[in-house]
A and B are shown apart, each in its own frame.
Chain A
Amino acid sequence: MSENMLNLSAMQLDAIREIGNVGAGNSATALSQLINKKIDMDVPSVSVVPLADVPDLVGGPDTMVVGIFLRVYGKAPGSVLFLMPKESAFYLVEHLLGDQKADNGELNEMDQSALMEIGNILAGAYLNSLSYYTKLTLLPSIPAMAVDMAGAILNVVIVQLGQMGDHALVIETQFLSEDDGINGHFFLIPDSGSLQTILNAVGVK
């Protein structure tokens, strides 16, 4: 990514964190309503990391995760990724569809569809608030899902950024449900150039 991205000022970082906070707050509320449980979220972490280190944020490149991926279209394109361990995915499906998962642990078509819809709702809530504060039109693509190694799933995002640079700006929020059933990571990774657009829109130079 561009040089200046590596040198964000404290004020810019604060602005990005606040945007992430409001967006994730909206998403957490949406998730909480969906499954009727209290959802806690941590303060978003904003970091600029080498592309090669991005998989380490979720436990290493060969950690198995369920990933729901959406592209963001509009004035500030980017990627949204919701990653969680398989157990969290089962928990979500159980609470949403009310069916008990057998221990053989496969996500059937119905489960996958439900999870993608959750991704859709979370991303929608996040982008809505981001759009509201920046007055930028941001639209999510239809969601896609994969159950695989974290590194392989993150490839999709990393490739997008790799054309332009060797670092990723990652706005990450962790979600935890009150009974620890869900432990998910929500990532917003702006394409290069989008970050500047967002900062300009909120008036932080």
Chain B
Amino acid sequence: MAELLKVGIADYKVSKAPDKIVSYGLGSCIGITLYDSVSKVGGLVHIMLPDSTQARATENLAKFADTGIPLLLKEVLALGAIKSRLVAKLAGGAQMFQFAGTSDIMSIGNRNAQFAKETLQKNSIRIVSEDLGGTYGRTVELDLENGLYKIKTINKGEKTI
């Protein structure tokens, strides 16, 4: 029986085909997936902030790009994925509100994206596709059968990367 696993904010899930992993309503947050197409093992982490070294509350590793990605990596490997076969996909990192004079917190989506990519590079994981930025929310769903990453929006339709 295929299950639909839900990932909340600052949360992650790993599993195998035929399961799917979904995360609802990403704004500036980013949903990063890792997937091994041979073992059909993969996972999704929903990070909220870029850098754990800049924050005071750091117990939850899944909250940050720099700690959430290594955590997800460890968990998919433990479930049988092979590192050299892993590929990453990213979605999210929007800027939901436009203010005159963009403050730090408003451009958090960009910084999340940048940190997530750097962390993936540091861990030598190839990024195969991404859907980042914009000014709209996204709901994302990873299909562990084929690694396809479906992105739904309210005003900008639906796509698969």
A-side contacts of B98, CB under 8 Å: 144
Return the chain B residue nearest A62 by Cβ. Answer: B24
| Chain A residues, Cβ within 8 Å of B160 | none
| A181 proximal to B (CB < 8 A) | no
A150 touches B48 (CB 8 A): no
Residue ID in chain B nearest A161 by CB atoms: B57
Which residues of chain B are near A74, meaning CB under 8 Å?
Answer: none
Q: How far is the CA of A15 from the CA of B92 in the complex (A)?
A: 39
- Is the C-beta of A8 less than 8 angstroms from some C-beta in chain B? no
Q: Which residues of A contact B34 (CB under 8 A)?
A: none
Contact (A62, B139) CB under 8 Å given A142-B100, A146-B96: yes
- Contact partner of B96 among A55, A61, A155, CB < 8 A? A155
User: When the two chains form their complex, are residues A146 and B135 in contact, meaning their CB atoms are under 8 A apart?
Assistant: yes
Instruction: Tally chain A residues at the interface, Cβ within 8 Å.
Output: 31
Say which one of B5-13, B78-86, B117-125, B143-151 lies at the interface with A: B5-13
A162 surroundings in chain B (CB, below 8 A): 10, 48-49, 55, 57, 63
- Hey, what's the 0/1 contact readout for B54-84 against A, CB within 8 Å counting as 1? 1111011001000000000000000000000
Q: How many inter-chain contacts with C-beta < 8 Å in the A-B complex?
A: 112
Residues of B within 8 A of A62 (CB): 24-25, 137, 139
Q: Verify A159–B48 contact, CB threshold 8 A.
A: yes
B-contact 0/1 string along A126-147, CB 8 Å cutoff: 0000000000000001101111
A residues in contact with B26, CB < 8 Å: 151-152, 155
Contact partners of A166 in chain B: CB under 8 A = 10, 57, 59-60, 63
Mark each residue of chain A from 150 to 167: 1 if its CB lies under 8 Å from any CB of chain B, else 0. Answer: 111111101110111110
Checking B11, B25, B56 against A151 with a beta-carbon cut-off of 8 angstroms, the contacting residue is B25
Q: Which A residues are in CB contact (< 8 Å) with B56?
A: 163-165
Residue from A145, A155, A158, A162 whose CB has the most chain B CB atoms within 10 Å: A155
Interface size class of B (residues with CB under 8 A): 35 or more
Q: Are A69 and B59 in contact (CB under 8 A)?
A: no
A contact face: mostly helix, strand, loop, or mixed: mixed
Please tell me if the beta carbons of B99 and A144 are within 8 angstroms of each other in the complex: yes
Nearest B-chain residue to A148, judged by Cβ: B137
What is the distance, in angstroms, from B97's C-beta to the closest C-beta of chain A?
Answer: 4
6 closest A-B pairs by CB = A151-B25, A152-B137, A155-B27, A61-B25, A152-B27, A144-B97
With contacts A148-B155, A162-B55, A163-B57 known, what are 16 further pairs, Cβ within 8 A? A51-B9, A55-B9, A55-B24, A60-B24, A141-B99, A142-B99, A147-B154, A148-B27, A148-B137, A151-B24, A151-B26, A159-B105, A159-B108, A162-B10, A165-B57, A166-B59
Q: List 28 A-B contacts (CB under 8 A).
A: A51-B9, A51-B10, A51-B48, A52-B11, A55-B24, A60-B25, A61-B139, A69-B97, A142-B100, A146-B97, A146-B135, A147-B154, A148-B96, A148-B136, A148-B137, A149-B25, A149-B27, A151-B24, A151-B25, A152-B96, A152-B138, A156-B106, A159-B49, A162-B63, A163-B49, A163-B55, A164-B57, A165-B56
